Structure 1
């Protein structure tokens, strides 16, 4: 926690640096600082930001989305997590049971709102495995496929979830390595 009682946050922007939705991380950092956020640090070029701010999550989220929209000219959904929530994710070791020699990527789907209670998704062993579903996080092991891709069938496995969530649901997927770096 910062000296002025601000809280540390992780912001994960959905769908940037794809197609025409481009933004340089230095410009994003400056945009967030201009919006009143402190200790701003971007992590990788896919819209991951650590910062300190006071306020309620809804207020911070709205501030970020409005500032980004004004600066970059397109709407961007922002999924927030507090430092404590990020530490709990890391401390939960959701990938601990995986074979350390397996050729896979670890991913987490971060949801803005809680997932539907009782949602069950079928894994495809050796392809796309759902390791755990928490209130707002879903942990995925994506194994390398013959074509060299890792996330080839993730969308297919997640279809039942999106059918229940409906349009307008905000989430974003991140490589677990990003989550490991966000608080550093």
Structure 2
């Protein structure tokens, strides 16, 4: 979910978030970290599941939330594809995946402008943008987020690569 418990955003406990998902009928609900990551099981069949969840959450927690869904199977396939292969790693390099919402133009068709100094767009997939942020002065996560929102709009949510890996465990 976009904007849960970020600096300056509305707060919701993970217990309340889990309870909201359970009350909507989802099974084996678990939250990962405190930034709106929820893993759950559903019988499927709802072609507008993101909207259903968004409406249910607004009712349960009192404010609208943009929901971006991915399957665990899809996340595992993404991890197995090793999108950051060849990217120098180290304590000063942060790897991110930006997930585009279902209504967004496919990322692979986007023409992204030149990123700010210290931000590298590593790969663009059909629904994701993979990026790395180095330790260059003036480059960091806020610059990446501002760049991506300007380039593709606000119908996105970004996660650290380590978080994506945790979601599949």
TM-score by length of 2: 0.86
Q: Is the 8 A contact 1:104 1:150 kept in 2?
A: no
Aligned Cα RMSD in Å?
2.2
Instruction: Note the 1:1-184 alignment, pairs <5 A.
Output: 13-18=1-6, 19-56=8-45, 58-101=47-90, 103-113=92-102, 114-115=106-107, 117-124=109-116, 127-146=118-137, 150-155=140-145, 157-158=147-148, 161-162=151-152, 170-184=155-169
Distance 1:40 1:32 in 2: 7
Give the 3-state SS of the residue equivalent to 2:123 in structure 1. strand
Q: How many residues align?
A: 165
Structure 1 residues 177 and 120, CA gap change in structure 2 (3 angstroms): same
- Given that 1:145 and 1:152 are in contact with CA atoms closer than 8 Å, whether structure 2 keeps it comes out as no
Deviation at 1:152, TM superposition (A): 4.3
Cα distance in structure 2, aligned partners of 1:177 and 1:151:
15
| Aligned residue number for residue 6 of structure 1 | none
- Structure 1 residue ranges without an equivalent (≥5): 1-12
Shift of 1:100: 2.8
Q: Distance in 2 between matches of 1:93 and 1:53?
A: 27
Q: TM-score, normalised by structure 1?
A: 0.80
Alignment CA distance shift 1:84-1:72 (3 Å): same
The 2-side partners of 1:73 and 1:141 are apart by 34
Q: Which has the higher strand share?
A: 1
Once the two structures are TM-superposed, the CA of residue 118 in structure 1 deviates from its matched residue by 4.8
Tell me the alpha carbon deviations over residues 63-116 of structure 1, each in whole angstroms, 9 at most, x when there is no partner: 211111001111001000112211111011111211233621000110013236
SS at match of 1:87: helix
